[in-house]
Chains A and B, each alone.
Chain A
Amino acid sequence: MSAPRLLRAQLRSKPANGHVAFIPHIRKLVFEYCDKWPSSAHTRSFLLTRLQSLARQNPHVEVVVKQRHHKEPIVRGFYANSRDKVIPLNSLEVSAIQRKVDLLLDSSGAKIKPLKRRTVESTTEATRGIWSGLHADRPSI
């Protein structure tokens, strides 16, 4: 059996974010609001009262505020996996907007997968081992 070659240009490692150092996934948060429409009223209030403290408490996030005339307000989060998540803010009050922003800050940016049908996925071997009938004790009565 011949040994296939190790190609140096293809050697890579898998990430282990959080094992020693943790890099937050979110990199940018963009708030888009309208100056005139009443649907942006709560968003404007949030931007005036809570935005600066949010930016200070999360120095790893780039916070951007943009105007989006005659449109509903949104908040957009940009992540390290080059995906973005958009949440509309038109029916939310200030505390609810804060909860949605916290959701974006905590998210990894990965697509939401349904948990019900998935099998167990792991990069490491089973810690308790896989049962083997040939290695277990023979049953005795």
Chain B
Amino acid sequence: MGHVQNRILTTAAKASTVARSTLPQFPPKDALFTRRKLPSTAFVPETWASIQPPPPSALSAFAHRIGLPSVLDTNEIILQACTHPSFLRPYRRQYPDAPAPETNAQLAPLGNALMGLFASEYLHAKYPYLPTRVLKAAVTAHVGPLTCASVAQEMGATPLLRWHRTVRALPKTPTDPGLLHSDAMASIPRSIAALIYQRRSLLSARQFVHSYFLSRQVDLRAMLKFSNPKKALLEMVDKFGRERPKSRLLKETGRFTNSPVFVVGIYSGADQLGEGFGSSLRMAEYRAAEDALQRVYLTRTPDHLIQLPTSTFPVGLGDVFRTDAPEGKYTAPSLVMSEIMYLSSGKRKPLRIYGVETGKEQTPA
């Protein structure tokens, strides 16, 4: 299908359809011509349709689809979770006298904070050796805006979302789009997490986040990027107090042909740390060093040994800090060797020091 047809379909999918059975009167009063002293603004059917609420059957079906009919028991609360604060503007323009609808402006940031908490504690417990930058990127991959928007779309919340595409009055860049559809969609699962926290407990909200977000597939290997894996491995091995790494050629085939294959293993004494292949000796050694680092960084705690700090909160409804309920069991895991600081500040070039008197630059020893 061509680009134009795709765009038409996606626009049509995002446009709202109004169920006539849910309307008290059709055609709506605003659409009919009435003689008024003051002229009123023209009636735009698309704007009117985008303001109408989705049918109640769609809202209750949504609650059942995500397995939360007991928590999201009223249609009003589901509608509140699906209403982005940008929706207030077109609503007030159409119905200036009507009471403002409830939005998820307060629920979404609360849910976002809870999701960040649950994701970071879980990923830190699951991958104790992961570098900090990669851990932060992994948290974003699991509960970030794109994933939240994707989860909302899989839940079938696209026709339920009430929002308005607002362009910024003072754009940050010339091509700043303002509010994105994905950001508005992302607010829905965050609001649901916040609602579960408010109506049930923190541990129930944690269960929701674990089921829908932390079970998704994220490729952590692609997030680990090394500019000099041999040097990083050398520093790591020194930190662990082992012998210096030595690379040895294990197998080779096709040397001096157009498709050689070398298999290099990198050893610390008698222990093999990593193995890599390549069409050149240096490439194979590079991959072996990368493999050794990945084997350490991607070490995973088995599921039955994962201890989460939020498990100390008492089970049941009520304030998590109440003293009458017993605390959950938690045995602190042993501290692991801290990450290698090589190039961890994010800067690629080494620090340069400029001498005051001579004006020449000196690199640190």
Contact B215 A21 (CB under 8 A): yes
Residue of A3, A60, A79 with most chain B CB atoms under a 10 A cut-off = A60
A6: chain B residues at CB < 8 Å are 133, 137, 223, 225
Closest to B251 in A: A134
Q: How far is the CB of B272 from chain A (nearest CB, A)?
A: 13
A9 at the interface (CB under 8 A from B): yes
Contact B348 A16 (CB under 8 A): no
Contact A11 B153 (CB under 8 A): no
Alpha-carbon distance A61/B64, docked complex (angstroms): 8
Contact B150 A2 (CB under 8 A): no
A2: chain B residues at CB < 8 Å are 227, 348
A12-B215 CB under 8 A given contacts A1-B227, A3-B227, A6-B137: no
Identify the stretch in A23-31, A44-52, A85-93 within 8 Å (CB) of chain B at 4 or more residues.
A23-31
Contact B155 A21 (CB under 8 A): no
Closest to B136 in A: A8
Identify the stretch in B34-42, B54-62, B197-205, B356-364 within 8 Å (CB) of chain A at 4 or more residues.
B54-62
Contact A12 B61 (CB under 8 A): no
A17-B154 CB under 8 A given contacts A11-B144, A27-B65, A134-B261: yes
B19 at the interface (CB under 8 A from A): yes
Residue of B213, B217, B348 with most chain A CB atoms under a 10 A cut-off = B217
Q: How far is the CB of A118 from chain B (nearest CB, A)?
A: 20
A19: chain B residues at CB < 8 Å are 215
Closest to A2 in B: B227
Contact A61 B137 (CB under 8 A): no
A116 at the interface (CB under 8 A from B): no
A61: chain B residues at CB < 8 Å are 61
Closest to A7 in B: B137
A60: chain B residues at CB < 8 Å are 61, 64-65
Alpha-carbon distance A127/B292, docked complex (angstroms): 21
B55: chain A residues at CB < 8 Å are 62
A63 at the interface (CB under 8 A from B): yes
User: Could you tell me which residues of chain B, from 127 to 171, have a CB within 8 Å of some CB in chain A?
Assistant: 133, 137, 140-142, 144-147, 150-151, 153-156, 158-159
B67 at the interface (CB under 8 A from A): yes
Residue of B57, B61, B69, B227 with most chain A CB atoms under a 10 A cut-off = B61
B345 at the interface (CB under 8 A from A): no
Q: How far is the CB of B210 from chain A (nearest CB, A)?
A: 7
Q: How far is the CB of A13 from chain B (nearest CB, A)?
A: 4
Contact B57 A80 (CB under 8 A): no
Q: How far is the CB of A83 from chain B (nearest CB, A)?
A: 9
Q: How far is the CB of A91 from chain B (nearest CB, A)?
A: 29
Closest to A65 in B: B21
Alpha-carbon distance A133/B159, docked complex (angstroms): 54
B173 at the interface (CB under 8 A from A): no
Contact mask B113-133 → A, CB, 8 Å, 1/0? 000000000000000000001
Partner among A16, A62, A82 whose Cβ is within 8 Å of the Cβ of B215: A16
Contact B144 A28 (CB under 8 A): no
A113: chain B residues at CB < 8 Å are none
Contact A80 B140 (CB under 8 A): no
Alpha-carbon distance A66/B140, docked complex (angstroms): 44
Which residues of A are in contact with B by a Cβ distance under 8 Å?
1-4, 6, 8-17, 19-21, 23-24, 27-28, 59-64, 79-80, 82, 123, 133-135
Which residues of B are in contact with A by a Cβ distance under 8 Å?
9-10, 13, 19, 55, 57-58, 60-62, 64-67, 69, 133, 137, 140-142, 144-147, 150-151, 153-156, 158-159, 210-213, 215-218, 223, 225-227, 251, 253, 261, 263, 277, 286, 348
Q: A6-B223, A9-B146, A28-B58 are in contact. List 8 more A-B contacts (CB 8 A).
A: A1-B227, A8-B137, A15-B151, A16-B217, A27-B62, A59-B69, A60-B64, A80-B158
A-B contact pairs, 12 of them (CB 8 A): A8-B137, A8-B140, A9-B146, A20-B210, A23-B155, A59-B61, A60-B61, A60-B65, A62-B55, A62-B58, A80-B153, A82-B153
Closest 5 CB pairs of A and B: A3-B225, A27-B156, A21-B211, A13-B216, A60-B65
